Amino acid sequence: MKFNRLVLKNFGAFYGNNDFDLTTLNKNQNVVLFGGKNGSGKTTILDSLRIVLFGAFAFGLKTDSAVYLDKIEAKLNSKAKKDHQGFFQIILELEMVENLKRNQYTLNRGWSRQRTAIKESFVVFKNGRQLEEKEVELFQTKLRDETPPQLLEFCLFDGEKIAQVISKETLSSYLSQTAKVMFNLDLFESLEADIETYLKQEKVYTSLSQDEQTQLELEQEKNNLSSKRDETIGELESLEKVLDEKNSLYSDLNRQFHVNGGLEKKERDALVKKMSDIDHRRLTMMERNREILTSLFPFVLARDLIHSAAEQMEREAKADLKNEFVKTVSLETFNEILNPVSNEVNVTNELYKKITDLLSQDDIQPIHKASAVQRAEILNFYKQVRDFVPQSVLNDFKQNTQLIKEVQKIRKQIEENDASSDLKDLLEKLHLIQSEIASTQFRKEQMVVLLNDLTEQLAQKEQQYQTLKTKVMASKKMGHVFEIANKVSEVSRLFRDLQLKKKLQQVELEAAKMLQIVYRKELFVTRVKINPETFQLKIFDANQEEINIDILSAGEKQILLLSTVWAMAMCSKRRLPFVFDTLLGRLDQTHKKAILEQFIPRCGEQVIILSTDSEISPEQYSEFKSNVTHTYTIDFDTENLRVNKSTNYFGMENNYELSS
Ligand SMILES: Nc1ncnc2c1ncn2[C@@H]1O[C@H](COP(=O)(O)OP(=O)(O)O)[C@@H](O)[C@H]1O
Ligand SMILES: [Mg+2]
């Protein structure tokens, strides 16, 4: 298929009649280049190709529902609507080779507005003759079969979408879908489904044996489980996408919040707690000091008095002891005791005096008459008073002032936080996202559980099914309808697997070749490997060591995807135009040059490139212009609310337009 001409009438940003010649000369001059700044209408061109070809299907819808017409309504040019123009149209001229014959088609999809409702008309001309209603239907079915919307989707590269595929780790499922459609393997999937439907017809079903019926039911249950599992995987993928988005939104807002001095609830709570901790510490400390000041401090002032009281008590105690001794052992008793040793009274008298003097020499007037316990208490108290260091109380007072300041500072921070409404808004948003993340996370966990459960159930069913199948096969004579149908189904599945493996091997070779041409020299890929079951993509360097795809830059990942899908398109032998919308923005100069000069010329007969001036610069354009047949610059004129177009690339003429 090749596009020859596109006309947009009052569609999107395009007011009035906008006619674009899309013909390309040959494989060496295969490019139609649109230049346009952001918002100039590039993506509108890409969208209008989808819409004119597939109508509601372009949006993944099945019928011309109200949803579809709403979407169209939004795309009808608003100035034309205001001017009450009745005409909104996309016209596409294309050619297709059918049964070795080249046919020219003109597709004309138009909309008219009656009050609030809009109506669609779709007219098709084949080689100049308008097709009848029935023929148009046939044509549409054929178009959808041969160039399914999904398939075209893979050739219509939307830079934004590709960037998403790459960043969201959905590369494998993207490749799996591409391969299925590219290689027609979805046809076999539907054949297998058809066979199952056939077997389930009443008359066929009732002629089956009990085991056969059970086998059929098991197969159906298996398929149900399998599609539920696929759905779950799909949902998990999209939940992950949502989580990613929400998480990055959260960290953006969070950064913003903190840059502006905001406190999260957690942090605020922590500060409040810190404040009360400090207060508590401060109060305990001051309470202790208060006690000291009221109980001990007065005695500190009367320290000397207590000292003499303690000494007096000491002396009283000794005097008591002496008196006690004298009372118990009188001088006479003493002399008597010592009589056998010495009968010289002078000596023993002297000895007695020495002993009693040793006990106490004081002849004091008792004041306190304290008991031993009381004395010990007073002595102990005196020691406390003596050892008391006033500096420690002073230090505590200083520390108290310090702590009060600290608390005031924290209180101010909290008050400022609470008073700012911007921060409040941000905080509310943060909380909202946080709870959304939590519920998404919860949902994701549920899905994981469900997935595990389904996988397990599926494995069980598979086992039951295989056991029964072997039994049924063994008991059947050849030629029975059930057996034949099952065989066909099995052959189809085998064929599909084999075909996929074979095709993927070709794709691996082609993709590796392309990567060697396009990647910068240091990233030398010798081999590409695609797992036919998981569609996991692996690349290997010259030493046959795997290169971790995750560490590739966004641009390098994009090239990898581009080369792989390109390789699939090549191996599928389908001749489809490629459309690249804003695809080069993420590539550095070296890679951009390689894509323009090496990749594009290998993309077949027609490549439509929609580019901003920063993607393909004037210098790059001059290097590349020998590949270009037509150029356009589209520019949204904000004054007259319409797109102006010129036939050059941002003011630079092209060779073809000059010579013709
Ligand atoms: N129904 C409409 N009527 C008028 N202008 C529209 C309509 N729909 C979209 N636009 C305008 O078209 C422009 C978007 O074009 P788009 O194709 O996305 O640009 P690009 O891909 O070049 O960045 C925007 O400026 C938008 O305002
Ligand atoms: Mg765009």
C-beta pairs of 521-525 under 8 Å, 24+ apart in sequence: 523/547, 523/552, 523/556
Q: Ligand 1 pocket test: pick from 10, 34, 37, 44 the residue with the most ligand atoms within 8 Å of its Cβ.
A: 44
Q: Which atom of ligand 1 is nearest to the CA of 40?
A: 22
Instruction: Tell me the mean pLDDT in the region 471-479.
Output: 67
* Whether 633 contacts 613, CB under 8 Å: no
Q: Is residue 88 lining ligand 1, measured as CB closer than 6 Å?
A: no
* Of 408 and 204, more confident: 408
Backbone angles phi, psi at 85, to 5 degrees: -75, 140
Q: Is the pLDDT of residue 245 over 60?
A: yes
Burial of 593 (0-12, 13-18, 19+ CB in 10 A): middle
In the three-class reduction of DSSP (H, G, I as helix; E, B as strand; rest coil), residue 119 is classed as strand
Q: Is the pLDDT of residue 540 over 90?
A: yes
pLDDT value at residue 512: 94
What span, in angstroms and rounded, lies between the C-alpha atoms of 568 and 509?
11
Q: Is residue 159 lining ligand 1, measured as CB closer than 6 Å?
A: no
pLDDT value at residue 659: 63
Q: Is the pLDDT of residue 479 over 60?
A: no
DSSP state of 652: B
Strand partners, 35: 611, 633
pLDDT value at residue 155: 67
What span, in angstroms and rounded, lies between the C-alpha atoms of 602 and 504?
19
Residue 620's Cβ-side half-sphere holds a number of Cα atoms within 13 Å equal to 21
Q: Is the pLDDT of residue 392 over 80?
A: yes
Tens of pLDDT, residue by residue over 563-572, are 988 888 888 8
Residue 202 pLDDT grade (very low, low, confident, very high; cuts 50, 70, 90): low
* Whether 49 contacts 6, CB under 8 Å: yes
Comparing CA positions, the residue from 162, 158, 248 lying closest to residue 554 is: 162
pLDDT value at residue 120: 92
The pair of three-digit structure tokens given for residue 327, joined into one six-digit string:
């009372």
Ligand 2 centroid from CA 576, angstroms: 22
Nearest CA to ligand 1 atom 7: 12
Backbone angles phi, psi at 580, to 5 degrees: -115, 115
Highest mean pLDDT, choosing among 206-215, 302-311, 488-497: 302-311
Q: Is the pLDDT of residue 478 over 60?
A: no
What span, in angstroms and rounded, lies between the C-alpha atoms of 649 and 633?
5
**Non-local CB neighbours of 576 within 8 Å, separated by 6+ positions:** 1, 147, 151, 152, 155, 569, 604
Alpha carbon 42 to chain centroid, angstroms: 28
Reduce the secondary structure of 394-408 to three states and give it as a string.
Answer: HHHHHHHHHHHHHHH
Q: Is residue 78 lining ligand 1, measured as CB closer than 6 Å?
A: yes
Q: Is the pLDDT of residue 95 over 90?
A: yes
Tens of pLDDT, residue by residue over 342-371, are 888 888 889 998 998 888 877 778 788 888
Dihedral over alpha carbons 454, 455, 461, 462 (to 10 degrees):
150
Ligand 2 centroid from CA 582, angstroms: 6
Provide the 10 A C-beta neighbour count for residue 10. 26
Q: Is residue 642 lining ligand 1, measured as CB closer than 6 Å?
A: no
Q: What is the largest CA-CA distance in the chain?
A: 166
Reduce the secondary structure of 584-634 to three states and give it as a string.
Answer: CCCCCHHHHHHHHHHHHHHCCCCEEEEECCCCCCHHHHHHHHHHEEEEEEE
Tens of pLDDT, residue by residue over 440-468, are 999 999 999 999 999 999 999 999 999 88
Kindly state the percentage of the chain with pLDDT values over 70: 95
Q: Is the pLDDT of residue 474 over 90?
A: no
Ligand 2 centroid from CA 156, angstroms: 12
Q: Is the pLDDT of residue 81 over 60?
A: yes
pLDDT value at residue 2: 92
pLDDT value at residue 19: 96
Q: Is residue 343 lining ligand 1, measured as CB closer than 6 Å?
A: no
Mean pLDDT, the chain, integer: 86
In the three-class reduction of DSSP (H, G, I as helix; E, B as strand; rest coil), residue 33 is classed as strand
Tens of pLDDT, residue by residue over 129-177, are 999 999 999 998 888 777 766 666 666 777 766 666 666 567 777 778 7
Q: Is residue 77 lining ligand 1, measured as CB closer than 6 Å?
A: yes
pLDDT value at residue 153: 66
pLDDT value at residue 660: 58
Q: Is residue 149 lining ligand 1, measured as CB closer than 6 Å?
A: no
What span, in angstroms and rounded, lies between the C-alpha atoms of 358 and 356?
5
Q: Is the pLDDT of residue 493 over 60?
A: yes
What span, in angstroms and rounded, lies between the C-alpha atoms of 170 and 168?
5
* Of 216 and 134, more confident: 134
pLDDT value at residue 477: 57
